[in-house]
Amino acid sequence: MTTDNWIVTCILVATIIAFLLDRFRLDMVAFVSLLALLLTGILTPAEATDGFSNSLVLMIAGLFVVGGAILESGVADLAGRWLGRLGGTSTIRLTVTVMLTSALLSAFLSSTGTVAVMLPVVLNLCRRAEVSPSKLLIPLAFGASLGGMLTLIGTPPNMVVNQELRDAGLETFQFFSFAPAGIVMLGLGIVFMCTIGTRLLPRQLPGAEGVTRKQGFVSRPELIHSYNVGDQIRKIRIPNGSTFAGRTLRDIGLRTTYHANALAVSTDSNRGPVVRKCNPETLLQPGDTLYIKSSNEDALQKLILDGQMKLVASSATLPKEVHLAELIIPPRSEFVGRTVRDVDFFRVYGAMVLALHDGNQPVTTRTSDTTLGPGDTLLIAANASALKRLSKARNNIVLVSEQEEESDSPLTPTARWVIMILVGMLIALSTGIVANVTAVLVAAALMVLAGAFRGSNVYQSINWESIVMIASVMPLATALEKTGTLDLVVSAIVESPGLTSPRALLLLLFVVTSLLSQAISNTATSVLIAPLALELAEQLGVSPYPLLMGVALAASTAFSTPVASPINALVTGAGGYRFGDFLKVGVPLQLLILLGTLAIVPLLFPFNP
């Protein structure tokens, strides 16, 4: 091996290790590896920046915009709820419905967006059917992953292998080329989850304290009880003569001195009580009723004594204007690693965090100092407008349950245009009348012009971490080819006596891709493995299509760990799953998809060129 071979190999290994450790942002890891290739002279500046102008990257960015428009317009929510009604009360029927719905949505939306839309729908279905969420949330996540196998745009790895064919000057896959194999894999997944899988899923969730571990997801009393905050919500009357009357919450030091959070103030009027949202400048008047959350009994007694106030109820019921809701922190959220105080939910969204659940137990004291992690659930109090803002912040938080019965989200006035543009894009992609990237970018532009987004929401709909990560990893594959490192790996595999069979080669590529996808991004995995598959096909004189299709299918089998994909982590907290739950269900399903791939892919895409 030459010096350049060693340099590229070291950079590749260091990048994979950094991905595995998951201590740094994926885009930063990929970008640093790109800089390393540039600074060591392995790549020229033009080669190093080629990924940022690649049509694949532009196409993925455009699809984020299209998917964001579908979410913003309410089309995805409506589709999820409409199909969710077909589930009935049977666990098997619910499993089939949930998996089919999530698969169909993820065939055209990102899998993370699909799960974010479907999560509250499935939780509501669980409540109605009295089924434990642990029986349906892993099927929801797995259905979204399997749905990515159905279309060209279902998941980035599909587009990566297609781009590899285009770069090699070969005929590319068509929009529905993935569908025959994908339908078989989805069918295998549904049958497995309805038979063996449902028996492997936890029958009863461990612990019963967190709302994410109960069946009543939208009942206000259960929300309060599940987070153990029932005895911390107090109702205090401010009588005439109170020393706090005529002063603001900031003036009396409600939060700083008495360690209490104000949730609402109710003022009597001729038309009945008027409930006001609290902020530091809220003015207290004689006769007002103050609703607070306090976990410090001594500070509470001091507050009542100093203010000459009256404790009306030590376990109060909040007024109907104060809505309770539950949020989940998704993976890659900007809030991961930050404390509740740092995020400042009240300033950003107008919501007060009452408690949180970290997967082990509720945290009701010193909540503001608690560091947030992926999968953590939060109980918040907010008004109706704040809940609308929260529901639109899917990249950082997912609103999964509210205190009242969920109602269908109304479609926005632009919904019909969104549907028409989407249908037009799908027709263009499936017929090939224009280049795929052209169809997607035109659709994205039309979505914006149609008014599907407001303000800068169009930029927020793009997952920039994924875009930068993909654009930065692609030159690493270029470096492997340029230095001959890829040829060395190919030669070692070709010269191996056990890998002369094309089916054995397909098996090897599937296993390697599937294993790597359990630990690092499936997109990054496919970027690295796809050139290897193409080179091996050329060296052995076999068709590259079955090998690349096998890589694409394997990249969508991130089933075995809660950190294998963002969607697994998203359902972990809501379903109360343990690491072992994914292993018990995911490993057999991966083996089943492997066998299905070995059986069906060579029939659909023969090895003979």
pLDDT of the residue at 65: 87
Amino acid type, 264: A
Say if residue 405's pLDDT is above 50.
no
Q: Domain check: are 348 and 496 in the same one? A: no
Q: Are residues 549 and 465 in the same domain?
A: yes
Model confidence pLDDT, tens digit, residues 553-567: 999 998 987 767 778
Note whether 96 and 146 are same-domain residues: yes
Q: What pLDDT shows up at residue 178?
A: 94
More confident residue, 595 or 387: 595
The pLDDT, as a whole number, for residue 219 is 59
Render the burial of 304-316: b for 16+ CB within 10 Å, e for the rest: beebebeeeeeeb
Tell me the DSSP string of 531-545. HHHHHHHHHHT--HH
* Coil vs helix vs strand at 1: coil
Question: What pLDDT does 50 receive?
Answer: 87
Same domain, 106 and 166: yes
- Asked if residue 325 lies in contact with residue 402, where contact means CB atoms within 8 angstroms, the answer is yes
The verdict on 376 and 433 lying in the same domain is: no
Of 286-300, 579-593, 594-608, the range with the lowest mean pLDDT is 286-300
What is the rounded distance in angstroms from the CA atom of residue 459 to the CA atom of residue 140?
28
Tell me if 409 is assigned to some domain: no
Contact between residue 353 and residue 323 where contact means Cβ atoms under 8 Å apart: no
**Mean pLDDT (whole number) for 491-518:** 80
One domain for residues 350 and 266: no
Q: What are phi and psi of 244, to 5 degrees?
A: -95, -10
Length of the chain: 609
**Does residue 105 surpass a pLDDT of 90?**
no
Residue 163 has pLDDT above 50, yes or no: yes
- Residue-level pLDDT at 85: 67
- The token pair at 46 is 């033009």
CATH of the domain at 396: 3.30.70.1450
Q: What percent of the chain has pLDDT over 90?
A: 19
499: pLDDT strictly greater than 70 = no
Instruction: Give Cα separations from 317 to 219, 224, 389 (angstroms).
Output: 13, 10, 25
Contact yes or no for 411/78 (Cβ under 8 A): yes
pLDDT of residue 210: 38
Q: Does a structural domain hold residue 463? A: yes
Q: Is residue 287 part of a domain?
A: yes
pLDDT at 214: 38
Q: Do 586 and 441 sit in the same domain of this protein?
A: yes
Number of domains in the chain: 3
| Poorest-pLDDT segment among 29-33, 283-287, 310-314, 367-371 | 310-314
Secondary structure (3-state) at 509: helix
In a domain, 353, yes or no: yes
Q: How confident is the model at residue 525 (pLDDT cuts 50, 70, 90)?
A: confident
Mean pLDDT, residues 346-350: 83
Last residue of a domain, one of 313, 343, 376: 313
The whole-number pLDDT of residue 403 equals: 52
Kindly report the average pLDDT of the chain as a whole number.
Answer: 82
**What's the rounded Cα separation, in Å, for the pair 509 and 52?**
27
DSSP 230-250: GGGEEEEE--TT-TTTT-BHH
Task: Report the pLDDT value the prediction gives residue 415, as an integer from 0 to 100.
Answer: 85
When pLDDT is averaged across residues 537-555 and rounded to a whole number, the result is 92
pLDDT of residue 208: 35
Per-residue model confidence (pLDDT) at position 309: 86
User: Does 198 share its domain with 227?
Assistant: no
pLDDT at residue 298, rounded to an integer: 86
The confidence band for 410, taking pLDDT boundaries of 50, 70 and 90, is low
Report, as an integer, the average pLDDT of 125-131.
Answer: 74
For residue 381, give the 3-state DSSP assignment: strand
Which 8-state DSSP code applies to residue 65?
Answer: H
Q: Which of 467-471, 487-491, 493-497 is least confident?
A: 493-497
pLDDT classification of 22: cutoffs 50, 70, 90? low
Same domain for 395 and 426: no
Give domain status of residue 318, yes or no.
Answer: no
- In this predicted structure, the answer to whether residue 406 has a pLDDT above a threshold of 50 is no
How far is the C-alpha of 266 from the C-alpha of 287, rounded, in Å? 9
Identify whether 609 is part of a domain. Answer: no
Of 179 and 16, more confident: 179
Q: How confident is the model at residue 588 (pLDDT cuts 50, 70, 90)?
A: very high
- Asked if residue 263 lies in contact with residue 279, where contact means CB atoms within 8 angstroms, the answer is no
CB contact set of 299 (below 8 Å; sequence gap of 6+): 257, 258, 259, 260
- The answer to whether residue 517 scores a pLDDT higher than 80 is yes
Are residues 141 and 105 located together in one domain of the fold? yes
Q: Does residue 213 lie within any of the structural domains?
A: no
Is there a single domain that holds both residue 299 and residue 340? Answer: no
Residue-level pLDDT at 87: 64
Any domain includes 188: yes
**Boundary (domain end) residue, out of 295, 313, 331:** 313
**What would the mean pLDDT of 566-595 be, rounded to a whole number?**
85
Is 70 exceeded by the pLDDT of residue 360? no
Same domain, 254 and 127: no
Domain end call among 367, 402, 437 = 402
Q: What is the secondary structure of 574-586 as a DSSP string?
A: HHT--HHHHHHHH
| Residue range 51-97, pLDDT digits in tens | 888 888 888 888 888 888 887 777 776 766 676 667 666 888 889 99
Strand 289-293 and strand 233-237: the pairing is antiparallel
Confidence of residue 325 (pLDDT cuts 50, 70, 90): confident
Which residues contact residue 228 at a Cβ distance below 8 angstroms, ignoring those fewer than 6 apart? 209, 355, 362, 364
Average pLDDT over residues 146-175: 91
Q: pLDDT of 200-230, one tens digit each? A: 888 654 433 333 433 334 456 667 777 777 7
Confidence bin at 597 (pLDDT 50/70/90): very high
Expressed as residue numbers, the domain containing 337 is 323-402
Query: pLDDT digit string (tens) for 170-201?
Result: 999 998 999 999 999 999 999 999 999 988 88
